[in-house]
Amino acid sequence: MQPGVHYALDVRQLSKTYPGDVHAVKSIDFAVAPGEVFGLLGPNGAGKSTTIGMLTTTIAPTSGSARLAGFDVATSPLQARQASSVVFQEAVVDRALTGRRNLDTHARLWGVPKALAARRISDLVDAFGLGELIDRPVSTYSGGQRRRLEIARALVSQPQVLFLDEPTVGLDPRIRYELLDLIAGARNDGEMTILLTTHYLDEAERLCDRIAIMHEGSIVALDTPRALLAGMGREIVELRVEGDVHKALATLRLRGVARDDSFSVGSTLTVPLHDMPAAHAVGVISELDLVTTASRPAHPGAAPPLAVGAPPARDHRAAAHADPLRHRDRASPGHNLRRARRWQRLHDLRRHRHRRPAGADLLHVRRHRHHRRSRERRPA
């Protein structure tokens, strides 16, 4: 962090220890420039939400400091809150009120002048596609609609810093991608800074200027998405594992497929191949008794996946039996139903390659392509 440079967020040696010597966050450091979208990526329990809690003044730090828009979150919590808004994992909108009443109430609580609030609410309703819903009780909204209202509510006060704590968790793939489009649009709104937490790698890569990867309360890597991916090589195998992910990763390391830079995020393993031929890595993985279920590309527009096992064929029956990663017991009850559901997902995947569902039952090697961002990077 450079002396004399103004940051929207400036975090230094921030720590949180709970009773019982539970170290939730361990002396983390990072700084976020105005207008930057910064991501905290990591599995559940990595310390992301605790970090958000400290930055939004809802959790008292044990040690260290954090400044938000120039205000210390510990000594000037009210000023820090006035400069920010937060979308928590759990919904906080009043389900008995209409969407419009929720937005109007939030504007009044934040001291937004009535005329300005009316214009702002109208703009947000249009931008978030809430026109047909805004005068209905929130109790009638779907999960995705309620999430859109939550983000619109946070933007009513035009915050300098917006916190999004796993905003797409629990949403189905289609609604998730639509919400990501809305968040990507919000990032272009003036000089607003966004801090996003997620355990989806593609989400962080798509939205963030820089990413900090958290593991067991510490930041283990921090850089741009391009730089982080470049350090992993041109090809990466990504697979989702049922059961003990750490054991699966240890097995892959023992077989020489995974190195120290391989990591797990939730149930997903990401294995950089470096100089290893993709066919060799896929062959080794196919021989292992790993119960794999799914994989997804790290970003929209990724190259078409290279499947493990036989490539999809016109004869779906033959292709299904050629796949070495499917359940071995083909005579088990429900096998035909599982196979039908699987091939329906693959059929949908081929029809909608630009929206690959997170549950698509496919293990692949993805090839990195560097994409030009829609917005010029602001200097840190």
CA 122 to chain centre: 28
Domain with CATH 3.40.50.300 in the chain: 9-228
No. of helices (H) and no. of strands (E), the chain: 12, 15
CB 161 within 8 A of CB 9: yes
Q: Round to whole Å and give the CA distance between 56 and 85.
A: 8
Structure tokens at 378: 């602001």
CB 215 within 8 A of CB 46: yes
pLDDT, residue 296, reads: 41
- DSSP code of residue 210: E
CATH code of the domain occupying 9-228: 3.40.50.300
Question: 3 CB contacts (<8 Å, ≥6 apart)?
Answer: none
Handedness of CA 352, 354, 357, 360 (dihedral sign): positive
Exposed/middle/buried for residue 235 (C-beta within 10 Å: 0-12, 13-18, 19+) = buried
Q: Round to whole Å and give the CA distance between 244 and 365.
A: 22
pLDDT, residue 290, reads: 65
pLDDT tens for each residue of 234-248: 777 778 787 788 888
Exposed/middle/buried for residue 326 (C-beta within 10 Å: 0-12, 13-18, 19+) = middle
Q: Round to whole Å and give the CA distance between 227 and 56.
A: 29
DSSP-derived 3-state class of residue 341? helix
pTM above 0.75, yes or no: no
pLDDT, residue 292, reads: 53
Residues in the chain: 380
Going residue by residue through the chain (380 aa), what tens digit of pLDDT does each one get? 444 458 999 999 999 999 999 999 999 999 999 989 999 988 778 899 999 999 999 999 999 999 999 999 999 999 999 999 999 888 889 999 999 999 999 999 999 999 999 999 999 999 888 999 999 999 999 888 998 999 999 999 989 999 998 888 777 777 777 778 878 777 666 578 999 998 877 888 888 999 998 888 999 889 998 888 777 667 777 787 877 888 888 888 888 888 877 777 667 788 888 778 877 887 888 777 665 544 444 444 444 434 343 333 333 333 333 333 333 333 343 444 455 555 455 445 444 444 444 443 334 444 444 444 444 444 44
Within 13 Å of residue 57, how many CA atoms lie on the same side as its CB?
A: 17
pLDDT, residue 80, reads: 94
pLDDT, residue 281, reads: 81
Structure tokens at 284: 């080794």
Placement of tokens 């310390």 in the chain: 47
Q: Round to whole Å and give the CA distance between 124 and 157.
A: 11
Q: What is the mean pLDDT of the chain?
A: 76
State the amino acid at position 332 in one-letter form: S
pLDDT, residue 289, reads: 66
Beta strands at 210-215 and 37-41: parallel, antiparallel or unpaired: parallel
Q: Round to whole Å and give the CA distance between 256 and 230.
A: 21
Question: 5 CB contacts (<8 Å, ≥6 apart)?
Answer: 31, 380
How many angstroms separate the Cα of 267 from the Cα of each of 137, 182, 198, 209, 355? 36, 27, 14, 25, 20
Handedness of CA 175, 177, 179, 185 (dihedral sign): negative
Q: Round to whole Å and give the CA distance between 339 and 81.
A: 51
The candidate with the shortest Cα–Cα distance to 197, out of 30, 376, 79, 364, is: 30
The candidate with the shortest Cα–Cα distance to 153, out of 194, 93, 95, is: 93
